[in-house]
Structure 1
Amino acid sequence: MRALYVSEQGCYLSLNDQLVRVKRQETLYAEVQLPLLQMILIFGKSQVTTQVIRACLWRNIPIVYLSRMGYCYGRILPIERGYRQLARYQDDLTLSDRLQVAREIVCTKLRNSRTVLMRQHRRQPSSSLDLVIQSLAVLVEKVRQADNIPRIMGLEGAGAAQYFSAFGDCLSSDEFIFGDRSRRPPGNPVNALLSFGYQVLWNHLLALIEVHGLDPYVACLHEGHRSHAALASDLLEEFRAPFIDAFVMYLINRKMMDVRDDFVYHNGGCYLNDVGRVKYLKAFVKRMEETITDEFGESQPKWDLLNQQVKAFKQFVYDPVKQPYVAYQIR
């Protein structure tokens, strides 16, 4: 199963038997067999035929519409993909259940962030990295003892601030300068890469959450409301450092992105342009299709890990006592 990204502007998606084709004028950009599709993500302005939409609805394949900067503004989903049944179980979760998940997610996020920095520290020792690595270990213990969500969120914020204070030390390019994290809008190319990656991953998780019939607006760590699918934000936390932050380091340190050619500045922010998005997504898909070995010795593509965690949360919702949620932790 794979996701189809449509990043080029002005494309036309059509269906030829069981083949989804992406064209712009006479140029064919992609062909994907319909049975192999997990979701379609369209960045910016492209057209989708009624035949493609109908086929995707029949096969439970979400079509996600995003701005050219990666912000989701809508999805096409089949009517049957509601979440009323599981929503009842989610609503019945106790405060203790939610605290358990919130602690697990934030502890794992901090441990994963620490592991990413430790890997970099082994390659290129740094006193500032060493201090942050120690600080994150202390924060993990504090999160374990936290007895309310605001306290956990505060510690998560402190951990993120510590982590990003050392993130620039992991970048070997003189052109990509990172001082601190800026989100709305991203203030420079490094922040643009991070924000775009988080948004892409968030949309993947959201689609999987809906595929499994969970209510994306009922979460344990973040506060949900009609414009914020908080459960996707919850599950994103454990994947930020290993899937996006490490990938951004890889892009920059391998000189795969160009600070002059791949970004555009407008409305006070910095964003990937059309060329940059194509580069990013092509490399990202290739990386996510790499196989890794799980704890049972089985090989699986990284994409499957997202689905694995959504399924784990679903099992937790059905039986919080017997199947506590365990977040994804890298080694």
Structure 2
Amino acid sequence: MRRQLNTLYVTTGGAWLHRDGLNVVMEVDRQERARLPLHMLESIVCIGRILASPALLGYCAQNGITVCFLTENGKFLARVEGPVSGNVLLRKEQYRRSDDPAATTAIVRNLLVGKIHNQHAVLARGWRDHREGLSDPAKYEHAVARLKRIPLRMLEADISTDFLRGLEGEAALAYFSVLDQLIRTEASALHFSGRTRRPPQDAFNALLSFLYTLLTHDCRSALETVGLDPAVGFLHRDRPGRPSLALDLAEEFRSLLGDRLALSLVNLRQVGERDFHSADGGAVYLTDEGRKKVLVAYQERKRDQLLHAFIEEKVDIGLLPFVQAQLLARHLRGDLDAYPPFLWK
């Protein structure tokens, strides 16, 4: 498996990126602000009003460096990449499985078992560490119990993908109904009453949405690394312009790299009310400075290590999407009888 290389995040509004030999150079107001060797990069993510030269984009496309453009609020705009690579036989098998209801259900079942197990792990840790400080312990304990039962219902025979999606919705309702109890700050603006998106309606949802966007980008890179098509998923239905399989893969890591990190950032006061701003219509987004803080914390979190239960090895958190993408590819090739989800312990 190819090691995860660096991702360059560019957040300075009005920045101009261009190529100078084998380096990418960032200029702001015609003043050079940064320079980095291109061979160190796997991808470049431009957030906000960022310009890139054709020479830089051409070099990146030829050398397997993807360039993504996001709005300042983290919404995906475009992706520049070179010719599609990967095993055509693997992709053809991926397409066959995605059109086979039974095969799709088998993969979706394990994806969601992993997702809900990891959501349960977040709440179980919160119950263990902060039981005395919870605002509604009875409701919280009930949610923990529900998240423990739902994966068992997913293992029943003769179950459909749509039914699994319904159980996922039930789990999400229980999970997000009590997640606010783990936010230990007196600032009311940093609390939330449930998941909202497109657009997020409060600061914590804005933080979650931005982290989920970064995670989806990493999952897409992981899938392309092993030769899978990130646009053809199993849980998320195909839709033009949507990386459905990347969204599938991200589900297992949302609680670890999204929710837990968001809670840490708020509870440790690494982000505060000043790092968010409200737009017309009530939408809330991170400020430029807020995004920089989150990006630093996200990259630092990816350097931590966890034991992967299936391969029985310690793995950098940032490499976990690559491990899971490889395991999915092995399942599609027939090397594994089932897709083994990532289970956080």
TM-score interval, normalised by the smaller of the two chains: over 0.9
Aligned position for 1:182: 196
* Distance in 2 of aligned mates of 1:310 and 1:31: 32
Q: Do the aligned partners of 1:263 and 1:270 also contact (CA within 8 Å) in 2?
A: yes
Q: What is the CA RMSD across the aligned residues, in angstroms?
A: 2.0
Give aligned-pair identity as a percent.
26
Aligned position for 1:106: 112
Aligned position for 1:143: 154
* Distance in 2 of aligned mates of 1:76 and 1:136: 39
Aligned position for 1:306: 321
Task: Name the amino acid aligned to 1:89.
Answer: E
Which segment is superposed worse, 129-138 or 243-252? 129-138
Aligned position for 2:95: 91
Measured after TM superposition, the shift of residue 263 of structure 1 is 2.8
Q: Do the aligned partners of 1:86 and 1:214 also contact (CA within 8 Å) in 2?
A: yes
* Distance in 2 of aligned mates of 1:261 and 1:293: 33
Measured after TM superposition, the shift of residue 204 of structure 1 is 1.9
Q: Do the aligned partners of 1:264 and 1:273 also contact (CA within 8 Å) in 2?
A: no
Measured after TM superposition, the shift of residue 119 of structure 1 is 0.9
Measured after TM superposition, the shift of residue 199 of structure 1 is 1.2
* Distance in 2 of aligned mates of 1:291 and 1:82: 28
Task: Name the amino acid aligned to 2:175.
Answer: Y
Measured after TM superposition, the shift of residue 145 of structure 1 is 1.6
Q: Residue deviations 1:39-72, cap 9 Å, x none?
A: 1110111121233222212221110111111111
* Distance in 2 of aligned mates of 1:80 and 1:105: 26
Q: Residue deviations 1:207-251, cap 9 Å, x none?
A: 332333322232221111213221111111100001110000000
Q: Give secondary structure in 2 for the equivalent of 1:260.
A: helix
Aligned position for 2:247: 233
* Distance in 2 of aligned mates of 1:294 and 1:327: 10
Q: Do the aligned partners of 2:201 and 2:284 also contact (CA within 8 Å) in 1?
A: yes
Aligned position for 1:315: 330
Q: Do the aligned partners of 1:37 and 1:61 also contact (CA within 8 Å) in 2?
A: yes
Aligned position for 1:214: 228
Measured after TM superposition, the shift of residue 203 of structure 1 is 1.8
* Distance in 1 of aligned mates of 2:184 and 2:208: 16
1:80–1:187 CA distance, 2 compared to 1 (3 A)? closer
TM (norm. structure 1) is: 0.93
Measured after TM superposition, the shift of residue 28 of structure 1 is 5.0
Structure 1 residues not aligned, in runs of 5+: none
* Distance in 2 of aligned mates of 1:173 and 1:83: 49
1:272–1:261 CA distance, 2 compared to 1 (3 A)? closer
* Distance in 2 of aligned mates of 1:83 and 1:210: 10
Q: Residue deviations 1:62-84, cap 9 Å, x none?
A: 10111111111111111243775
Task: Name the amino acid aligned to 1:211.
Answer: T
Q: Do the aligned partners of 2:42 and 2:66 also contact (CA within 8 Å) in 1?
A: yes
* Distance in 1 of aligned mates of 2:33 and 2:120: 39
Which segment is superposed worse, 200-209 or 66-75? 200-209
Matched, 1:252 2:258: no
* Distance in 1 of aligned mates of 2:21 and 2:155: 54
Which segment is superposed worse, 155-164 or 144-153? 144-153
* Distance in 1 of aligned mates of 2:53 and 2:303: 28
Task: Name the amino acid aligned to 1:101.
Answer: I
Aligned positions, number: 330
